[in-house]
């Protein structure tokens, strides 16, 4: 027999074509919902028949936590409560009180709690006030005492009620100065008025029947879906505007540099202007333009605002088996060009295309991180290859993967990756681009707890301290990522303790960095200092070298935020807390990930790998030999080559990111993938330093 299934919030029905209804789950709750609705609507006769029939058929009726009442019944409840109040029937009064008022009102409303306290006082002195006898008086006081030890204990620290906790132990309350008022007509009348007002408001706040809620669920779900759709649309628009903004700022800086060069007698070439225009309209404009002809600039602008088609090349599917084969068996130069082209799919594509590209790379295990085997060993060997351009391409690729959350998750699967990165790091020269890229990748991977632990155990903290001793010889990129990585590792308790052996050297390096001209590193230096000063022995070493005086030298009037950070560090320096109090930092189960991905232009900076002769690079290289079958026709290759003329050169920046940020205060700093928000001080909740 054909069946349809209707699912509600808490009830499951099975409805047949003949119209018969059989409940298969939550029968008791369903019956209680029907009963609640009939009671609320005043269908008393129907309700009686319903309850009687349920009893005859053995059908359960569950008790609801909150019962809805009609206005007529609410008035009846209020009158009954006032009647029991005047009769002094404490037990019956509070039974009806608990049944009629929602738990959220009784336990969560301060007015309700205070009124309940005064009502208990009233019932405690009722036998004395109306001369009901000694036995009744003792019984009433015993009930009040029991209330004080249970529900009334929550108000024991309130000055208003503190004197009444002694009431059960006073022999003659009527003559006691603190309790004489309880027996006056004024006090009784005031309590009665307050009670009536409260009941009028509280009973009307009783929620509507659950059947009403079930009726509204579908409409609310539709509204929720629509809101989520709009939210996703707004997020995409915001990301696009943000990406365009950063691209525009970068192009503007390059144009300003070109203008300065022109003033110095160095005219800008048409090829340079072609590159700038292709970057400016990279998400919309893909054709080569002859900028030597008059009117071309206007043509470029008009073309940029004309309706454009989606950027389709990024969705071309690659033959990943051939890609991985050539990564292993091609010449070193071809391997470098292939890695460069694959990286540009991440770094030079529109922001909304990066997630699909990364997903394809991960699903096809491009770097061999998901599955141990020969391909993984081949990829790791690229980091230590004899040819510099190959080592550089490999390190840039790993850094690009680490710039995205999905990429970090993928790289973290390779337990051998850290060793390969460290071997490369220790073998490279100080000013090597390869070392910069490896440092960047390690710093971003330090968000992962298992890799944090491996870095700490392998002595990365000691290596970083040694490198930072000669910080004047480091590039801005190396300096920023080294200090940020040091801070991330020092946030861990194991990292703090690792600094004990070389405490003096570590403190000296960090204090020197406080005065470095690169202001981008200050938050990371402050975070590292604050973290390691949780160790008592390091605090003593810092005090011996006059750390507080050094810190106060960097307090300036024009930097209130930085001054607050320094004050927190000084407070930590003079603290008496032990590192054991911070052990809970290592007990966290969740990864402390950044909310957003950021693909830095530094990933493509200072490229030394250029195509020579008939060599292809970038997307034309992939289109010419690595697309899946059917996508690699001669016509397609010609179209791809035309589309990417002038676009296969990587983004270039004339100066380092930090230098440009210092020149233009309106330019936001690139994210440095810091491990977490650092809370400064255990007694300063709400005051936190965003590192």
From 7-16, 406-415, 422-431, the region with the lowest mean pLDDT: 7-16
pLDDT for position 106: 85
**CA–CA separation, 166 and 633 (whole Å):** 95
Task: Take residue 29 and report the two structure tokens written for it.
Answer: 């709750």
**CA–CA separation, 353 and 165 (whole Å):** 69
> Which position has the higher pLDDT, 17 or 546?
546
**CA–CA separation, 322 and 329 (whole Å):** 10
**CA–CA separation, 291 and 559 (whole Å):** 47
Burial class from Cβ neighbours inside 10 Å (0-12, 13-18, 19+) for residue 621 reads buried
From 214-228, 232-246, 587-601, 620-634, the region with the lowest mean pLDDT: 587-601
Distance of CA 338 to the CA centre of its chain: 35
**CA–CA separation, 233 and 244 (whole Å):** 17
The answer to whether 526 and 550 are in contact (CB under 8 A) is no
- Segment 527-532 shows an average pLDDT of 90
Alpha helices in 67-209 (DSSP H): 71-87, 90-100, 103-108, 110-129, 134-149, 185-204
Helices 332-347 & 320-329 angle (0-180, nearest 10)? 140
pLDDT for position 655: 28
- Segment 387-415 shows an average pLDDT of 89
**CA–CA separation, 561 and 542 (whole Å):** 23
- Segment 36-44 shows an average pLDDT of 79
Q: What is the DSSP string of 190-256?
A: HHHHHHHHHHHHHHHTPPPPHHHHHHHHHHHHHHHHHHHHHHHHHHHHHHHHHHHHHHHHHHHHHHH
Q: How many CA atoms lie within 13 A of 587 on its CB side?
A: 5
- Segment 361-387 shows an average pLDDT of 89
650: nearest Cα among 347, 230, 249, 236 = 347
What is this structure's pTM? Answer: 0.49
> Which position has the higher pLDDT, 107 or 307?
107
Count other C-beta atoms under 10 Å from residue 386's C-beta: 7
From 36-50, 309-323, 365-379, 429-443, the region with the lowest mean pLDDT: 309-323
From 69-78, 146-155, 177-186, the region with the lowest mean pLDDT: 69-78
From 97-101, 122-126, 198-202, 309-313, the region with the lowest mean pLDDT: 309-313
**CA–CA separation, 374 and 370 (whole Å):** 12
> Which position has the higher pLDDT, 635 or 453?
453
Give the mean pLDDT of the chain.
76
pLDDT above 80: residue 599? no
From 126-135, 278-287, 551-560, the region with the lowest mean pLDDT: 278-287
Which pLDDT band, with edges at 50, 70 and 90, does 229 fall under?
confident
> Which position has the higher pLDDT, 670 or 608?
608
**CA–CA separation, 682 and 208 (whole Å):** 44
**CA–CA separation, 6 and 268 (whole Å):** 71
Angle at 64 between CA 77 and CA 113, to 5 degrees: 55
From 257-271, 292-306, 335-349, the region with the lowest mean pLDDT: 292-306
| Sign of torsion over alpha carbons 414, 416, 419, 424 | negative
Task: Take residue 412 and report the two structure tokens written for it.
Answer: 């973290």
- Segment 238-258 shows an average pLDDT of 83
- Segment 416-427 shows an average pLDDT of 80
pLDDT for position 207: 58
pLDDT above 80: residue 42? no
Q: What is the pLDDT of residues 167-211, one digit of tens each?
A: 888 888 888 888 888 888 899 999 999 998 888 877 765 556 777
Percent share of the chain, pLDDT over 90 = 9
From 170-174, 238-242, 301-305, 491-495, the region with the lowest mean pLDDT: 301-305
Residues in a beta bridge with 5: 14
Q: What is the pLDDT of residues 460-485, one digit of tens each?
A: 999 899 989 888 888 888 888 989 99
The answer to whether 487 and 691 are in contact (CB under 8 A) is yes
């Amino acid at each position: 027999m054909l069946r349809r299934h209707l699912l509600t919030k808490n009830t499951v029905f099975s409805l047949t074509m003949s119209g018969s209804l059989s409940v298969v789950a939550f029968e008791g709750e369903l019956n209680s919902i029907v009963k609640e609705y009939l009671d609320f609507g005043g269908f008393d006769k129907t309700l009686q028949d319903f309850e009687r029939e349920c009893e005859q058929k053995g059908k359960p009726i569950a008790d609801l936590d909150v019962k809805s009442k009609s206005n007529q019944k609410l008035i009846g409840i209020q009158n009954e409560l006032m009647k029991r109040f005047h009769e002094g029937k404490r037990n019956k009064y509070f039974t009806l009180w608990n049944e009629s008022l929602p738990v959220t009102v009784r336990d969560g409303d301060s007015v309700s709690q205070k009124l309940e306290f005064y009502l208990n006082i009233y019932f405690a002195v009722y036998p004395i006030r109306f001369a009901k006898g000694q036995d009744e008086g003792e019984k009433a006081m015993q009930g009040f005492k029991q209330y004080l030890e249970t529900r009334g204990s929550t108000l024991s620290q309130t000055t208003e009620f503190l004197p009444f906790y002694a009431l059960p132990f006073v022999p003659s309350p009527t003559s006691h100065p603190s309790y004489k008022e309880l027996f006056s007509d004024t006090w009784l009348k005031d309590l009665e008025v307050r009670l009536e007002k409260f009941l009028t408001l509280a009973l009307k706040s009783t929620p509507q029947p659950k059947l009403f809620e079930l009726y509204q669920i579908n409409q609310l779900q539709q509204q929720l879906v629509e809101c989520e759709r709009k939210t996703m649309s707004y997020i995409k628009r915001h990301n696009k505007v943000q990406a365009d903004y950063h691209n525009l700022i970068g192009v503007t800086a390059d144009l300003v540099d070109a203008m300065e060069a022109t003033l110095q007698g160095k005219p800008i070439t048409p090829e340079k202007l072609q590159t700038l225009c292709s970057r400016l309209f990279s998400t919309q404009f893909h054709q080569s333009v002859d900028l030597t002809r008059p009117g071309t600039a206007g043509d470029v602008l008009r073309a940029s605002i004309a309706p454009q088609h989606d950027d389709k090349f990024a969705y071309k599917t690659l033959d990943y088996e051939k890609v991985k084969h050539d990564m292993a068996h091609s010449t070193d130069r071809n391997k470098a060009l292939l890695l460069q082209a694959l990286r540009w799919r991440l770094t030079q594509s529109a922001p909304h295309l990066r997630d699909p590209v990364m997903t394809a790379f991960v699903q096809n295990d491009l770097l061999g991180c998901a599955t141990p085997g020969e391909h993984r060993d081949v990829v790791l060997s690229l980091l230590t290859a004899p040819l510099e351009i190959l080592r550089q391409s490999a390190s840039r690729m790993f850094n690009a993967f680490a710039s995205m959350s999905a990429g970090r998750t993928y790289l973290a699967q390779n337990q051998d990756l850290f060793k390969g990165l460290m071997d490369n790091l220790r073998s490279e020269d100080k000013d090597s681009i390869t070392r910069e890229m490896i440092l960047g990748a390690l710093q971003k991977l330090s968000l992962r707890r298992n890799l944090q632990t491996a870095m700490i155990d392998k002595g990365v903290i000691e290596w970083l301290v040694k490198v930072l001793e000669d910080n004047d010889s480091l590039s801005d990129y190396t300096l920023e990522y080294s200090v940020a990585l040091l801070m991330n590792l020092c946030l861990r308790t194991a990292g703090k303790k690792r600094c004990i052996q070389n405490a003096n050297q570590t403190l000296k390096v960090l204090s020197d960095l406080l005065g470095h001209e690169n202001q981008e590193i200050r938050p990371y230096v402050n975070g590292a200092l604050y973290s390691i000063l949780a160790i008592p022995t390091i605090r003593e070493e810092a005090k011996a070298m006059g750390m507080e005086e050094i810190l106060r030298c960097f307090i300036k009037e024009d930097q209130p935020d930085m001054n607050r950070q320094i004050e927190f560090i000084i407070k930590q320096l003079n603290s008496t807390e032990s590192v054991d109090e911070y052990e809970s930092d290592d007990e966290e189960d969740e990864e402390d990930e950044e909310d957003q991905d950021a693909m830095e232009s530094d990933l493509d900076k200072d490229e030394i790998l250029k195509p020579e002769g008939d060599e292809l690079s970038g997307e034309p290289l992939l289109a010419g030999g690595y697309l899946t079958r059917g996508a690699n026709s001669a016509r397609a290759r010609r179209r791809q080559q035309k589309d990417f003329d002038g676009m296969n050169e990587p983004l270039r920046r004339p100066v380092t990111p930090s230098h440009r940020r210092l020149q233009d205060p309106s330019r936001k700093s690139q994210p440095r993938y810091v491990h977490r928000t650092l809370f400064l001080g255990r007694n300063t909740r709400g005051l936190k330093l965003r590192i």
